[in-house]
Structure formats: structure tokens, C-alpha cells
Structure 1
């Protein structure tokens, strides 16, 4: 046979299959390493922190284009100048990857101009955080960072203060702060920040909160307010809204889902349509009876206070159809809640009246002459 070694039938085929399987395994390992690099949140945040450390001075770019598209940022009114808005953070998904920001913009509503402010020691990128303005400062707490491929999440429990005068950031390391979360809400009452709710999601573990925390801005101290025996208390939720009137803080709506339930692994999310009122002097909650024409259940809406009314706009209703697929309905309704008599009613914007055409004095004089000559 010419000294050539005989091969058993099928042996070459088996060898080819083993090589193919080994190559596929190598490709899978490379893909996993690539995925890990893109979703290694600790490495990403460390790289961002390294870049932030290079900043040595505040730089302000005047009259820049508006911020890039994003959601879940915060927009806060400057207490010293109500025509100026401060925008911080947020996130954007382009259909392939998620981008999370820590940029800060100042918007002058009178001039319709944006300024971009870059400061040393800025907070890490985040979305779904909360910001409250007091005197010459803006306080930012919590939020989340999402990896580019949305495979991993990091929730913050850090508190930051932004100085509106010198554009500097300072992290406040205070004891007794709330646990890491996003989707919570904060509101200012006198010299205190009231924080309630939110959620924590690592894919493996999901928790929704209904805890109440208070930050005293005079003493820089956190305090958790716990319910007394038999006291009414709102259920856990995120994506709700707060509104303040005199010595009352109103809470409406929100979203909740229990993924950790052993009773029903396929438990669906719950969208709230209840309203509560908190007395910040006694820290007592009471449920508000529905009166008038209240809005339906929703989360992620906006609400602001104007005189004695809380104005609500928009929101979303998420319904799980199957296999954790969400079907979202976005709303553009507007409602008002009269906080003194606690009644709801829908609002509609009136069409702007068309101004009457101005007639010049010359035309009026000619018309008058024509009429006089005709008569």
C-alpha cells in the first residue's frame, strides 16, 4: 500500500467535527470575553473615574446646542433664578446600545440659551436619580448605571451637592443613608428632603421599596421614618410623583412588580392609581378618597404644583403579554388635582385666539370717505 497508513472509515469525519466544535468553543469564549468587557460595570466606572480625575478646573461652554436625546434625567429650577433650569444625567438607547450620561447643562429660558458645564469630581453617570434644589445648591441622590448591552445594572446610594455659584461638585458621605435605588422620588419641605420608594434590580434580585427617609439640610443628617403599629402606609412602588401644598405632601400612582414571589413566579406588574397624603409634622400617611374625575392608573408621568393645584401630564401603562414582553401605552392626558378640596378634573388646552387684523388709519380714512360719498 506504498507504506501509507490506513485510516479507519469515519475517522477523518470525526476529527473534522472535533476541530469544528473546538473552533466554535473558542469563538464562544471570545464572544463571552467581549461581552464581559462591555458589561463589566466596575471596569467601565473605574475608567470613567480615571477620566474625571484629569479635570482640574471648571470649564463652561456658552451658547451650545441643546443636550443630546435622553430620558430619566433631572431638570431642576434654580431657586435664585426661576428662569434657569439645571439638567443633569439621563440615558439613551439607540436600538443597539445604552449610553448613560453625567453631563450638566444650564438653560436660560429668557435668552433661550444652553450652557455646558464640566467640573472636576463630577458624579458617575446615572439615570432615574432624583435632584432637589435648596438655596444655592442642588442635591442629587441615587439612580442607576446600565451597561451598554443592558446585561448588568448598578444602583447608587450616593449623595452629591452641586454648588450653583461656583459650579463645583461635592460628595456628602453621611451615615444612615437609604439603600441603593432608582425610580424613587424626592421633594423639598422647608429645610428637609423627603425621599420615598424606588426599586433595586440586579436581574437576579428585584426589590421595590416603600420606606420613608428624611434628610435635614441644616444638620446634614439622614433619618428613616418607620410606620407605627396600625398606621396606614403606601405600598412599595417606583415611578410615582410627589406634590407639596402647605403642610401636606401628596403622592400619586407608580409601578410595582414582585419577581421574588415563591407563590407565583409569573406574577405580573401592578400599576397604581391611588393617592396618599403625608403630614410632615407627624409623619402620618392617609389615603385620599377619589373625588371628581381622577386619572387612570399610570407611572412615569410628570406632576408640578401651581398655586393650589397639582398638574399631572402623561405617563405610561406597561402590560406584560407573555415571556416578560412589555406592551406599553403612552398617555398625553392632563389632569388637575385641587389640593385644598381634594378633587380631580381633566384639563384641556384652549386654542389660541387669532388676533384681529389691524386696520391702518389710512384705510379707515378711505373707508369713511367712501361711505360718506356713497350716502
Structure 2
């Protein structure tokens, strides 16, 4: 994986002051001490102190403290090491460090939005305009209640018309004010964003497949229906086949609808094209051998190619095959990758990182759901299953995901029992999971088959969700502005915070190797400069306090043993994780085996019944053949008896003439004589 990238423009003044208040930096003389001893490790607290001073006071122009205290010396060195860094950059890095130490701080904090507005100086030209309420400054907020839960909506009256620009809260799902005719509630639809407009196509509603196309203007939050027509190359206007479980991809001012379940499925995957200029549908003509038709697959745009993985075909057989459609030559190619691929599945999520790595997460089979992560190197075409770190999500299927930079956001899904309430994010460089936020109750965001898209406004990205099924079909829209724009640190190694500040040197040395691998850019350099200054001061302090070389030797040996023990613990944790994953895979395979065995037993029972029926029919057929032969014999005997009677009658009638000639009287004559 590539090194971590540092994104700019993460923090704005109002978020910085909310973060500073949460961290304990409230502007009072003792705020720095509070920051050093409350929520964070010593090195992070020193860095937060330096960035806070740089953002609120400016470059360090005060003389070096004459006090012998290593704390004061370290604080001055940390601040002085930042040089002439701009205040806005210091604010951004302050929020960034706080996000690393406590990723969910904003969602867990209370009333920080109001506090941020109160504390923001007016010379920052903040776009977060406060309003007067009962003589105090506070932002205008509104809460929208949903079924068995609630979602917070923060709305500024002056910027509602700006669409995505009205989203003033980070890491919280918000229900924007929607107008226009909403699309019919649905799930397993396709969604794509083109130029601040989100298009919704198809889906499933009450068991019926849909083929309508709707568009949501993300500037005005207005829905409208797109009246589409058949393509010009079609000889007759044809109504598009309703479908669900398909994928909608934006490509060159067009929408591509790939695969999907239909009432009368075709043999192979169909690719439909919607031209946004002519508002017409057509079928894409492709070459090569297309994949078998399916639904619930993943389709990922990588450069000018579509990568299709898995799904479920029309016969309900799960798939794990891999195909690529080159959009320049319109040619299909079936890929035979090396390594162990993901097990057959559908309704999973896929993403591409660095235009090279295809990531597959979750999905489901007929019997179980998954939370495994697989990576395909698109250059070597080799599958691998890396170790996940952080707060690994639970098993799920029917979830949706989008990427923002090197972060992959996953929303919704279900596990055959309930909907998933957490919104999680994976840093694709470090493979560290974290929870962004969580919703309560049966809400649309905890649904299966919902869609998730990403749009940008003013340089910031916003996630947009629509629809889903969680016991009922939904048509609601929710948005979230993520603050996770750069790498998140690994939580696999946690070093306890020492009681004395004199141990900061040991903590820094124990954690620097991990930090150097997960951080890059300007922030990493700043952290290194500040911590080097801290190390220098503490080394001097220790040198003055050391009395015997033996103590230093013992400390060095202790550090070496602790480092070795830490490595052994890490390896043990990794082995335990691998063992847990292997056991999980074994459990999943056993469930699949039991399911297949059950199906096989049912088929065997059905086969036995059919064999019994066939034997009975054969016996009846043999009886019928015997009866047929007996009937034919009786018919022949009857015919022979009838023929004999006829012959006798003829002889009797002809014998009267010859008898008269011979002098024998006829029967009538005998009667007359008598």
C-alpha cells in the first residue's frame, strides 16, 4: 500500500475552537496543564499545546523559560519548533491530531457546536453565522424524529439555498429539507452523481422491479423525474426492463447500468447506457465473452475499465468470478487471478485504492454474512487477505460504500437479524477501521440495499444516502460531511501513559517507529521536530539527575526487554487474529456445508419418492399389459364362437333342398303332416 497522504482544508475556525474546548484548552492560564494531563499521551498533548498557541497567539516570541522544570522547557521548545506556521494550518493540524487520538470526539461531545460559535473571534470571517436566542449566541438547530430514533439536522437559514453548503456539522447524518416529488420507496437500486445531481434508477418496491429514473438537485434539494426514451438506434421505442440489484456508474456524461435481476433474465450481462444530453437509453454493444447474467455483484470503475466481481445468477447460484470490461474497446475479459479469492457471495462492497488495489468487504451467501476483507492487486492479478486493524465491523450484506481520498466509508447493511447502525471508515493505506457515527432505532441508514454516493462542495466532500429496506421500504435522503480525510493511526499497539513527565523520552522512542510508517507530509515533519526538541530537553534533565552509570545501563536493558516484549505481544495478537479469522472461515464453511447437506438430503428424499412412484407405475403398466393380452384372447374366442354359429346356421338352411330331392321332408312339412 502507498504511504499516507495529508489532506489540507480539514479544519475551520469554528471546529478548531470546539476541538480546543473539548481537549481542555479554554484560554485560561492552566489550560495547557489540563491538556497535558487529561485525555492524551504526553507527546500528543505537547504537540496540541504548541499548535493551540501557534493558532491563537502566533509564532513563539517569548524568551526561553529560566525554570528548571522539564515540562515548561518542553512546552516552550514544542511551540518554538513550529516556526512561522500559519494560524489556519495550525488549526487544521490541531483538529487532525485530536481526530487521531479520539476519532469520535465530535459525536460524543455535547454542545460543542454552540460553544464553538461563542468562542469564534469575529476576525476569522467564519461562515458559521450565530443567531440571537434569549440574549445569547447559539446556532439554529432542528431535530427531525424518525421511527424509534432521531437524526439531528443543523440548518443555517442563510445558506439553505446552497444545498451541500448548508451542511455545517461533521460526522453526523443530517436530513436536508427535500422538495419536489420523491421517488417511490425502494432498495437495491442504482445511484450515481454527475455535476451536483444524484440520479436514482430502478430498484425493488414491494417485490416488484422498477425502471424509473429520478434526479435530485443537490443545490436546491429538489427531486424531479426524468422522462427517458429509447435510444435512436432502436428500431422501435422499447420500455426498459425493470431491474434491481444492478450497478449505476457515471462515465463521460453518461450513466451505465450494469447487470441486475430481472423478471425474464437474459443469458449474459447487459450494459444499458443513458445519455444525459439526449435523455435516451440504449444498449451498449460489447465484444468478447460477456459474463453470465447476475444481480448483487460489485462494479468498480478503475481508470477506463469496469471490474465486475461476484453476485448471484438467475438460478440463485452464488458467484466469485472476476471480469473486466474495457470501456475504450468495449471488450470483455475474464480474469483468472492467482491466490485464494473471496468465497462466492453477493451484496458485498468494493472499492479501488491508488488505481491498483481492488478491495472486497463483506457480503452474504445463502446461509451467512461475512466481514472479511480481500485485496486484489490489479497489476499482478493476485488475491490476498490482509489483517484488519482497529474497530473491525461486524458481518453484513447489502451495505453501501464510497471512497474519499484513501478512506472507504461503509454505511448500512444487515446480518439476517437486524440492520447495522454504525457508519464505519477504513483507511485503505493502513487498513485501520474506525467508527464515524452511529444511529439509533429502525432508521433508513440502518437498512439493506440503500445507495451511497459522494459529492463535493467548496472543496469538501459530502456523503449522500438514499432508500433502503429495514422492514419497510424507504425513500429518505441523508447527508454526512466526513472529517476523516487523512490517515488514522493504528490502535494495535497501545503504550500506557507514564506517571512522570520524565518518561516522555521512552514513550516517544517506543512509538516513533509506528508513527513513521503511518504518517507523512508536513504533519509528520512537525511532530518529529517538536518531539526531537522534547527529547533534547529531557535528555539534558536526565543527564543532570543521573548519578550512576549502572542505572542508565539497567534502564537501557529494561527498554530493550520492553521493546522485545511489545514485539512478542504484537505477534501474539496477530496470530490470535489469524486464528480467529481461520475459525470464522471454518464456521462459515461448516454452515455452508450444513446448508448443502440439508439441500442434498431433501433432494435425496425427493429422488427416493420419485423412484417409488416409478416402480408403482411400472407395476401398473405390467398389469395393464397382462389385461390387454387377456382381452385380446377373449376377443379372439368371441370372434371364433360367432363364426362357428354362423357356419352352422348356413349349413342348416341349405340342407332342406337336398333333403327334398332325397325324399326327406322339410321341417315345415313334418309339422303339416302332424
Q: Is the 8 A contact 2:293 2:314 kept in 1?
A: no
What is the aligned counterpart of 1:135 among 252, 268, 272?
A: 252
Partner of 1:302: 400
Aligned equivalent of 1:84: 197
Once the two structures are superposed, residues 292-331 of structure 1 have per-residue CA deviations (whole angstroms, 9 ceiling, x without a partner) of 110011101111111221111221011xxxxxxxxx3111
CA-atom RMSD in angstroms = 2.0
Q: Give the alignment's TM-score, normalised by structure 1.
A: 0.63
- Provide the TM-score with structure 2 as the length reference: 0.36
Matches of 2:412 and 2:395 in 1, distance apart? 11
Aligned equivalents of 1:306 and 1:227: distance in 2? 27
Report how far residue 209 of structure 1 moved: 0.5
Q: Deviations over 1:156-192 (max 9, x none)?
A: 7211111122211110232311101000010100101
Match of residue 235 from structure 1? 343
Query: What's the secondary structure of 1:300's corresponding residue?
Result: coil
- Quote the Cα distance in structure 1 between the aligned partners of 2:314 and 2:329: 32
Q: Is the 8 A contact 1:119 1:168 kept in 2?
A: yes
Where do 1:1-375 residues align within 5 Å? 64-78=180-194, 81=195, 83-93=196-206, 98-121=207-230, 123-146=240-263, 154=265, 157-175=269-287, 176-202=289-315, 206-228=316-338, 231-246=339-354, 247-257=356-366, 269-318=367-416, 328-348=417-437
Give CA deviations for 1:76-123 in whole Å, capped at 9, x if unaligned.
Answer: 011xx1x11111001111xxxx32211111211101122212222253
- Distance in structure 2 (CA, Å) of the matches to 1:145 and 1:170: 17
Report which structure shows greater RCO (CA 8 Å, sep ≥6): 2
SS in 1 for 2:216: strand
Query: Is this contact kept in 2: 1:174–1:221, CA < 8 A?
Result: yes
Aligned-partner Cα distance in 1 for 2:323–2:420: 31
Larger Rg: 2
Asked if the contact 2:204–2:243 (Cα under 8 Å) also holds between the matched residues in 1, the reply is: yes
How far the C-alpha of 1:64 sits from its partner, in A, is 4.5
C-alpha distance in structure 2 between counterparts of 1:133 and 1:220, whole Å: 16
Kindly indicate whether the alpha-carbon contact (under 8 Å) linking 1:132 and 1:193 is maintained by their aligned counterparts in 2: no
Contact 1:160-1:169 within 8 A present in 2 as well: yes
Q: Residue 272 of structure 1: SS of its match in structure 2?
A: strand
Bigger helix share: 2
Aligned length: 251
Tell me by how many angstroms 1:349 deviates.
6.6
Runs of 4+ in 1 over 3 A off after TM superposition: 153-156
Q: CA deviation at 1:227?
A: 2.8
Q: Deviations over 1:113-154 (max 9, x none)?
A: 2221222225311011111111211111111135xxxxxx74
Give structure 1 stretches of 5+ with no counterpart: 1-62, 147-152, 258-268, 319-327, 353-375
The structure where strand makes up a greater share of residues is 1
Deviations along 1:19-77, one digit per CA (max 9) or x if unpaired, are xxxxxxxxxxxxxxxxxxxxxxxxxxxxxxxxxxxxxxxxxxxx850101111111101
Query: What is residue 7 of structure 1 aligned with on the other side?
Result: none
Per-residue deviation at 1:201? 4.1
Deviation per residue, 1:267-314 (Å, 9 max, x gap): xx1211110112222222211212111001110111111122111122
